[in-house]
Amino acid sequence: MLKNKFYNALKESLHWRREWSSDMEIYLKIKELRETARGLTIRKSLLTFLYDRIVNLPLNTLNFIIKMKHHFHYQRIQNEIYLIDKEMEKYSEDQITNGEVKNEENKKK
């Protein structure tokens, strides 16, 4: 009974992590496209580019730190998904093995 609860908790956790991961992939791609478009717009003029970089240096630094944080969380969730998958495989293998053992015991009787 306890194993079933644990397995169901893992299954639900895996579902939500995969959903979050999918949403984060979309978010990161959109952010990348916006940064590329912004860069293309600003780089048309060297003076505008330099002005933008100097004036917005604190904000650009903060945005870079936030971007690194998002990538860190995305990688952490990917690792958690991998580990939860492995744990669920172990549980499934235990369940299959236990089922085979029980069937063999029933055949002996």
User: How far is Cα 80 from Cα 88, in angstroms, rounded to an integer?
Assistant: 12
Residues 6 or more apart whose CB falls under 8 angstroms from that of 13 comprise 84
**pLDDT digits 0-9 by tens, 77-91:** 999 999 999 998 887
Q: Tell me, what's the pLDDT at 3?
A: 74
User: How far is Cα 79 from Cα 88, in angstroms, rounded to an integer?
Assistant: 14
Residue 72 predicted with pLDDT over 90: yes
Q: Tell me, what's the pLDDT at 97?
A: 58
Q: Which letter does DSSP use for residue 1 in this model?
A: -
- Domain ranges in the chain are 18-101
User: How far is Cα 53 from Cα 42, in angstroms, rounded to an integer?
Assistant: 10
Residue 64 predicted with pLDDT over 90: yes
**pLDDT digits 0-9 by tens, 29-59:** 999 999 898 888 877 888 888 888 899 999 9
